[in-house]
Structure 1
Amino acid sequence: MDRPSIYNFSAYRQFLKKMFDYKKETVQSFSYRNFSRLAGFSSPNFLKLVIDGHRNLTSTSIAKIAKGFKLKKPEREYFEILVYMNQAPDHQERDHYYKKIISMRTPKNMKLLQSAQYNYFSKWYLPALRELVMFDGKKLTAQALAEKLFPKVKVKDVETALKQLENLGLIHKNKNGCWKQSDQVITTGPEVKSLLITNFHHEMIKMASESIDRYSADKRDITAVTLSIAQKDIPELKNKIAEFRKRILKEYAGGENPDQVIQINIQMFPLTKTDDKGEI
């Protein structure tokens, strides 16, 4: 069994579980009690409580665990940021630590977390470009693609975005040198996926808000409805929203001769508090 690399994990508890299993297999008589003694914990099963999600880590316990597993300095620093990201109370703080994780990556240690993945979900024009390359079937330059985007995006940013999309396997060039979509799906750990999707929704909801002043009414559709509903009916409502979204994709996505990229947002959220019984 190879020693687990911290850089391949997006959840620190999973890393600790793999490290414990590795030590258990490679070090005779290794146990939770043995680890607590090495790390300086008074509780003999502290590590197990953390792995099982019953305890969080502090800066002090992070240092002790790093000592117990003999993590090297770069590994300790990465582990500490990963803990803070996983334990962050809100999206803004998670995003802050994720950016730090990206900045700490190197070609040798980076496998799971990539800046291109982060940018795809954090910059609106990356998914827009992926759709835009389907147009015309012609050899579109970064300059030509930049001219089609609105709001305006710099040509150098489009060039960078195309390289990132290609590196992610989301677009490729055919034999004629034209960009084409690929069927590749971006894969990450669940914790990172949640952060990236949250970034995407923040970005697109912001774009929707700006579109009210940016476009005339004939070029957009902004509608809303406020209603009262039984909490037991919300799952059914969400299913109907999902069905509507799928029907839109089925009927309009991939049609012949597309000449525009649009964004459709659908939001549903509560405006009141409810107790456990669903009562206001």
Structure 2
Amino acid sequence: MLKKPNLLEYLSVHHYLNDLYKYRKQTEVSFSYDLWAQELDFKNRSFLRQIVTGRRGLTSDTARQLALRLNFQGVERQYFDLLVQYSRARSIERQSALGRELMNLLKSEHSQQEIEDYCEFVSETLYPKLQTLLSFKDVRKTPEDLAPLLRKSPEEINKALRVLEKIKLATQEPNQEWKSVPKSFKVPEAIGDRNLLEYHALSLREAIEARSLPKDQRRYLSLILPLNQQDFAEFWEEFNKFKKDMIRKFDVEDLRNRQLFQMNLNIYAVSEEGTCRDGDPTPT
């Protein structure tokens, strides 16, 4: 059985595109370079074929167009952008640096376990914080030791640990300490999911209450930007890259001299779309 090429297994954009073309050619009777050029919004089949075969390099605009039309999201989009830069690198030093970024991205993605029963996991903001604490090597993981770190009672922590155990994220060891089952975790992206929306609402209420914390333990920032739908999607992609970079940079195994910090990002429209003034040319 033919398997669709996986972008994350390639170190050449052109090899990936070539294998993707061959896969679709063998699985779709009417598929051709003409049809693919139309799908990808390229001017002609010859231009596309030169890119696929490596006779023509990818410009920034062409790469952005491909990423959009091939519907790369999340880590695939980040990997594709890095792969394009990797293929265009002119020096060994630059190529080596980009190669390390590609490997770090794969390592980060593969080490994170996606939580299947996320509805219960996000029903309390305590659960993700507690799950994170369980991953540190230098933290004693009994309810009595964990409770003061999260400003909760041992009874509350014990109850939360039992929930994490039920959804197979934590387990109790013979010495009565608890440990995290996955080294790192992530919640699936389910835009519009009621459970996630409620979790974010609870988290934002906690962020408001954090105003009383010392200034060295909290920051607030507001930014207003003019965006169309394409800009909005690009902003979100850029933020996801930033998020991945921060996770890789600050991924440590010890909590000594550190506190857990939580960052909430909310972005939403605060105006209606602008229209042209009378007499102004209509934008195209």
Q: TM-score, normalised by structure 1?
A: 0.48
Q: TM-score, normalised by structure 2?
A: 0.48
